Amino acid sequence: MKYIEPHAHMVSRTTDDYQAMALAGCEIICEPAFWAGFDRTSAQGFYDYYCQLTDYEPARAAKFGIKHHSWLCINPKEAEDVGFAREVMSIIPEFLDKPNVLGIGEIGLNKNTTSELKIFEEHLALAKEHDLPILIHTPHLEDKLKGTRLIVDVLKNSQIDPAKIIIDHVEEHTAGLVLTEGFWAGMTLYPESKCSAPRAVDILENFGMENIWMNSACDWGVSDPIAVPKCAIEMKKRKYSPKEIEKIIYDNPLRFLSQSKNFNI
């Protein structure tokens, strides 16, 4: 089956993962900027990372017949030092005209601190200035509900069209909050944390199939780059039709991502 992987950190994956995704039917991968597994010590490190996301990874994906897009930002894990974060953010505009760049992401909150909120708001201003879609990271575990509420409050004051914003890593207790306010919701499929395939399908059954996607976000930790097609099999087990499955794994991400001027099939 064909599908779009709308959130995957391929810099942390091997070429075998690209091959597995291609064999499973992946046509497009979208890669948000994220934490490298350690804190970078210079803005030059981010410059090199943005080059990797906009030059090297698209070429690597193309070897397997997959189109690669990226999102740019400084991840909330590295936003505690506001001065450093601003230095990094000053680099981003020169990459926004790269043909594979979709927008700003994944921004948001990690520990729900004042510094993270400040940099989050400045990322929103950058996206608004350049009329770009936004991909948002929500905190993990016990901080998720509080962080999601903080994020939604800031977004409601930003005067940015909620249809251009996807709030990722939603779970059962945050999906309704995100969707009710008019934002898109992303479900992240992980074997040990975030959302399992059965839980993701439960969320679809409780909150519907509009303005929602699923992704693997595969990264440095225990994660599965073909989690999306595996979840499609879970949907099939529950008697979802091929058209309904295609809506979630292809049509919905296609509709959201098409808001970016650089997105094309």
The mean pLDDT value for 179-203 works out to: 94
Domains along the chain with CATH numbers: 3-257 (3.20.20.140)
Which of 80, 97, 63, 76 shows the shortest CA–CA distance to 33?
Answer: 76
Banded pLDDT at 231 (limits 50, 70, 90)? very high
- Structure confidence by residue, pLDDT tens digits, 38-80: 889 999 999 999 999 999 999 999 999 999 999 999 999 999 9
d(CA 75, CA 120): 9
In this predicted structure, the answer to whether residue 192 has a pLDDT above a threshold of 80 is no
Name which of 251, 257, 260, 249 is nearest 226 in CA terms. 249
Instruction: Kindly report, residue by residue over 97-111, the tens digit of the pLDDT.
Output: 999 999 999 999 999
Tell me the pTM: 0.96
The three-state secondary structure class of 260 is: coil
